[in-house]
Structure 1
Amino acid sequence: MKPISILLKSFLVLLWISGNAVAQSTYIPSDVNKQNREWFQSARFGLFIHWGVYSVLGDGEWVMNQQQIPIRDYEKLPAFFNPTAFDAKSWVQLAKRAGMKYIVITSKHHDGFAMWDSRVSDYTIVKRSPYGKDVLKMLADECRREGVKLFFYHSQLDWHHPDYFPRGGTGGSWTGRPEHGNWNAYLDYMDAQLTELLTGYGEIGGIWFDGMWDKKDADWRLARTYSLIHKLQPGALVGSNHHVTPFAGEDFQMFEKDLPGHNTTGFAPEQKIGDLPKETCETINHSWGFNLKDNHHKSTQELVQYLVKAAGYDANFLLNIGPMPNGQIQPEHVERLQQVGDWLAKNGETIYGTHGGPLTARDWGVTTQKGNTVFVHILRWSDNVLTIPSWGKKIKTAKVYGTSTPVKFAENEYGITLQIPPGGRQEFDTIVELQLK
């Protein structure tokens, strides 16, 4: 039984991939889109924000599904969602203080609740909450003032909409939705909401999709939706957290809680690394949305080292926070973001605008490169001498980054040996700057 089910699943995944890929085969990115891809490739660090009416319950963004809360009960939550402490300026300034170049915020998560003033639904923060304000508009305006690009996370999965039918692997009969619906009508609704986001909030960085994995065998009309986005904003970048190799029409590739090429989560057994700019996303604790009981906050060292590893894999790091229902960001998260920003203020040259270096990731760390400069990021030490493989380029000079302290090196048939002087180790990441001949 198990082998047959695995084969069937693999067949459906391949069918889904091939069908959507063929539908997108004519996509040619615009010049501004190509320029924005280059910008995205060099940005390296972004802020992910999971925030919505689910924050009220303090049990993560999947609380509706995990606790199987029917729609009639879940719809009571907006009355308690009054984020009077929300301050778009402080959010954007915190992102900049952390060294982040862009923000991705949940416009609509799987619960279907819109965080803007949607004209095609009354299930919104403006119409259903006592707060009554469009937080996305405030955030978009502030991002524009501060020179930070804003992306909208948009869930294709919807546990609330009656036309999301047939239902997928989540949001079962417990929701109370009718056992029928018009799938194309739902996709029209989704496109209408995307049109609002792409026409009412100025120039945006792009759309960050999630949820296709809920219905792998469905016709998601990707060609139509992606074409709509690129028509309304040719420079907008499209990415999708579908856990498979990108389809044509997408502009960057994302990896959830994993570095490119890894599958520690089990989410992406079919995913291959493509040629598009890459991004990996991870949480600052264990939760995406606000979770009152989640105190497993990652250390500043863990966050810095993940950022460094991502750059070594030629990927951006999208670091998530889940603001509290009142609109404030948890102080533990503020502190860590500021500390990562302090590290980047000193070492950002080795991250921003770089590409993955000449060596693939090793147990000791990674390399990044900018022109004829290679940065060797040593994250794990065993002694003061490190031997690395040669990559065919001769070294002119070597020093501890950010100092004038030279690093002795030798090149031979065994590779390149770097000798770090006493006191040369740095907190979190010892960086050796190599100038190539």
Structure 2
Amino acid sequence: MKNLRTALFLCIFAFSFPVFSQTKSLLGETPAQKSHRMQWWTDARFGMFIHWGLYSLPARHEWVRNYERITNDQYQKYFDNFNPNEFNPKEWAKKAKAAGMKYAVLTTKHHEGFCLFDSKYTDYKSTKTQAKRDLVKEFVEAFRAEGIKIGFYYSLIDWHHPDFTIDDTHPLRVDGNEASKEVAYARLNKGKDMARYRAYLKNQITELLTNYGKIDILWLDFSYPGKFGKGHQDWGSVDLVKTIRKLQPNIILDDRADLKDYSDGYDFVTPEQVKPAELLKYKGKYWETCQTFSGSWGYFRDENTWKSQHQLLDLLTTSVANGGNLILNVGPTARGEFDYRANKALDSLGYWMHANNQAIYDCTFPPDEYNLPAELNVRVTYNPSKKKLYLHLFDYPTDGKITLPNYNGKISYAQFLNDDSEILFKSDGNGLILNLPKSKPPYEIPVVELSLK
């Protein structure tokens, strides 16, 4: 990964992921209770991430402060010029709903430390800019009105706060060997107090979980333990998560507070920017892959590695086919709008989801007996309550025929999902043969619905 944030996180994630059978618990929730609490999320399968902050003005990556080692004084011009005069969260919410997204997670504060909400603990917030608005409040009201579940992202990191100690991910980090860095950081961090920062962090999260009604998801981001990093002790994660669970008992929490050894220190794991083929290994767990339309989370004017509709649908269908969720990110412009490339991607997803969403919502991986050979290049999703299988056809057959091994005698009816038009089938010694029309339906990845006997 070129993204420093991604590279750092994946190293940590790879190290910590294998721990799933924890014995320690913060609040004593049973697996059955967790399953009930998580049900809406596992049914939804598809969400929107929104990374928005002062970094939308330089428009060259949300980690621009880190990459270019920008000081607070140098970064101040973006605060002074932040004026999102086209911000209309009602339009954002309509776009998310039309694309088929069931929940949305907004960056209330990213690593730069700027708050999109009216916190009483800082003046580094949207209400003190030319916007003069609590942008989080408006987001919540708009998305809730569309029936979309509400999620908050909150950065554990804060490069602006005076008590946040400088470390190896900070814009003012130092280079050199371990001994020289130890001396330099001791000098740079003189007078800083992480205990005061922990109190700030806890106070702001308490505001977010108190002032905006029911919050469905909280994304804390991220931990990087080590000599020149930060982990659960720096954040006070145990106390923090207990506070979160007390304030919002039904909230769903990500895994980045460095509490992997607690069974209820998190609810789901978060593979970031991974390829679809890598998602198989998370099968059977609660997980959500976070992905960008392009190579950046924040608005990046000159970045051009945008994913095609095929790639986006691959991420979505492969996620569900392995029992996970996909959250796709939009980085609004400094004026508060989704740029044309994001709108184009969302519109293409909306077209496909309108016709095929039944193969996504309430679905998961199928029983093993319905797995298909890799050479067919078909993703299979399954709705256990309706007893429906959905075949996502990544390679549409030129002769219109697909043979499904081991499906003989198990299917009562077949149809295209987009229009409920019948697909005839027959059995032979090789399996069930679907007779598809030679003309592919007008969808990048057509879906066949199979009713089980």
TM-score by length of 2: 0.82
Are residues 1:431 and 2:447 paired? yes
Shift of 1:432: 1.9
Q: Which residue, out of 396, 407, 415, partners 2:424? A: 407
Give the letter for the 1:185 counterpart. Answer: R
Cα distance change, pair 240–330 in 1 and its aligned pair in 2 (3 A)? same
Spell out, residue by residue over 1:57-109, the C-alpha distance to the aligned partner (whole angstroms, 9 max, x if none). Answer: 01110000001101221123200101111011111111111111111110111
Partner in structure 2 of residue 256 of structure 1: 272
Cα distance change, pair 173–141 in 1 and its aligned pair in 2 (3 A)? same
3-state DSSP of counterpart to 1:252: coil
Is the contact made by 2:100 and 2:354 (CA closer than 8 Å) also made in structure 1? Answer: yes
Shift of 1:32: 8.3
Counterparts of 1:150-169 in structure 2, within 5 Å, are 150-165=150-165, 167-169=167-169
Cα distance change, pair 309–235 in 1 and its aligned pair in 2 (3 A)? same
Partner in structure 1 of residue 6 of structure 2: none
Partner in structure 2 of residue 267 of structure 1: none
Mapped to 1, the partners of 2:407 and 2:163 lie a distance apart of: 56
3-state DSSP of counterpart to 1:256: coil
Counterparts of 1:29-428 in structure 2, within 5 Å, are 34-127=35-128, 129-165=129-165, 167-173=167-173, 178-179=189-190, 181-213=192-224, 215=229, 219=233, 220-241=235-256, 247-249=262-264, 250-258=266-274, 262=278, 273=282, 276-358=285-367, 359=370, 362=374, 364-370=377-383, 371-381=386-396, 383=398, 384-390=400-406, 394-401=410-417, 402-410=419-427, 412=429, 414-428=430-444
Is the contact made by 2:232 and 2:258 (CA closer than 8 Å) also made in structure 1? Answer: no
Mapped to 2, the partners of 1:397 and 1:255 lie a distance apart of: 36
Mapped to 2, the partners of 1:281 and 1:306 lie a distance apart of: 10
Mapped to 1, the partners of 2:83 and 2:269 lie a distance apart of: 35
Is the contact made by 2:284 and 2:323 (CA closer than 8 Å) also made in structure 1? Answer: no
Mapped to 2, the partners of 1:103 and 1:77 lie a distance apart of: 26
Mapped to 2, the partners of 1:205 and 1:66 lie a distance apart of: 33
Is the contact made by 1:83 and 1:327 (CA closer than 8 Å) also made in structure 2? Answer: yes
Instruction: Using the TM superposition, name which of 25-34 and 289-298 deviates more.
Output: 25-34
Mapped to 2, the partners of 1:138 and 1:387 lie a distance apart of: 51
Is the contact made by 2:84 and 2:334 (CA closer than 8 Å) also made in structure 1? Answer: yes
Cα distance change, pair 203–26 in 1 and its aligned pair in 2 (3 A)? closer
Mapped to 1, the partners of 2:236 and 2:281 lie a distance apart of: 22
Is the contact made by 1:109 and 1:155 (CA closer than 8 Å) also made in structure 2? Answer: yes
Shift of 1:256: 0.9
Mapped to 1, the partners of 2:287 and 2:15 lie a distance apart of: 22
Spell out, residue by residue over 1:204-236, the C-alpha distance to the aligned partner (whole angstroms, 9 max, x if none). Answer: 112112111363655243221111111001111
Spell out, residue by residue over 1:163-184, the C-alpha distance to the aligned partner (whole angstroms, 9 max, x if none). Answer: 3336244434379963453333
Is the contact made by 1:357 and 1:375 (CA closer than 8 Å) also made in structure 2? Answer: no
Mapped to 2, the partners of 1:245 and 1:392 lie a distance apart of: 44
Mapped to 1, the partners of 2:261 and 2:424 lie a distance apart of: 42
Mapped to 1, the partners of 2:99 and 2:434 lie a distance apart of: 31
3-state DSSP of counterpart to 1:369: strand
Mapped to 2, the partners of 1:120 and 1:411 lie a distance apart of: 71
Give the letter for the 1:368 counterpart. Answer: T
Shift of 1:241: 4.5
Give the letter for the 2:195 counterpart. Answer: N
Cα distance change, pair 37–292 in 1 and its aligned pair in 2 (3 A)? same
Mapped to 2, the partners of 1:247 and 1:274 lie a distance apart of: 20
Mapped to 2, the partners of 1:315 and 1:144 lie a distance apart of: 24
3-state DSSP of counterpart to 2:334: coil
Mapped to 1, the partners of 2:259 and 2:321 lie a distance apart of: 22
Give the letter for the 2:145 counterpart. Answer: R
Shift of 1:281: 1.5
Is the contact made by 1:244 and 1:272 (CA closer than 8 Å) also made in structure 2? Answer: no
What value does the CA root-mean-square deviation take over the aligned residues? 3.3
Cα distance change, pair 212–62 in 1 and its aligned pair in 2 (3 A)? same
Partner in structure 2 of residue 4 of structure 1: none
Count the aligned residue pairs. 418
Gaps of 5+ in 1: 1-8, 264-270
Cα distance change, pair 255–244 in 1 and its aligned pair in 2 (3 A)? farther
Is the contact made by 1:33 and 1:237 (CA closer than 8 Å) also made in structure 2? Answer: no
Give the letter for the 2:41 counterpart. Answer: F
Instruction: Using the TM superposition, name which of 46-55 and 335-344 deviates more.
Output: 335-344
TM-score by length of 1: 0.85
Is the contact made by 1:410 and 1:416 (CA closer than 8 Å) also made in structure 2? Answer: yes
Gaps of 5+ in 2: 1-10, 175-184
Spell out, residue by residue over 1:302-360, the C-alpha distance to the aligned partner (whole angstroms, 9 max, x if none). Answer: 32332222221222221111100011110221122122112111111111111122355
Is the contact made by 2:408 and 2:431 (CA closer than 8 Å) also made in structure 1? Answer: no
Is the contact made by 2:71 and 2:172 (CA closer than 8 Å) also made in structure 1? Answer: no
